[in-house]
Amino acid sequence: MSQETIFSKIIRREIPATIVYEDDEVLGFKDIAPKAPVHVLFIPKNQIIPTLDDLRAEQAPLIGRLALAAAAYAREQGLAEDGYRIVMNCREHAGQTVFHIHMHLLAGAALGDFGV
């Protein structure tokens, strides 16, 4: 069974976060330890999927929703033309620390040296 993480508390507004995007499926909020001038996390609101490796075929549209949300936010913030990076970490070797699937949006500078 999927375990709740700190991100469930952010979804329920039980702990504070700077929420910058929300739709029926996706919540976007600023990363607490930003690795780039703009660093926002996009997460599913209604399902806990620990890692990309746990994604089932019928859940695949959710990844598109995370990507569309990130792209819409980047466009709205005037970041799309200069560009941005999307990252999903899966498990230990990628350095995943929160096991509620999420998409990082990094932007606001040339990102050669920025990773998550």
Q: Which residues bind ligand 5GP (CB under 6 A)?
A: 6, 17, 29-33, 41, 89, 95-98, 116
- Which of the 8 DSSP states describes residue 14? S
Nearest residue (CB) to ligand 5GP, 81 versus 84 = 84
Q: Least CB distance from residue 79 to ligand 5GP, whole Å? A: 18
Nearest residue (CB) to ligand 5GP, 6 versus 80 = 6
Cα-to-chain-centroid distance, residue 32: 12
Q: What is the CA radius of gyration of the chain?
A: 14
Nearest residue (CB) to ligand 5GP, 3 versus 81 = 3
| Residue 102 is a catalytic residue | yes
Within 13 Å of residue 63, how many CA atoms lie on the same side as its CB? Answer: 15
Q: How many other CB atoms are found less than 10 A from the CB of residue 38?
A: 18
User: What positions carry a catalytic annotation?
Assistant: 102
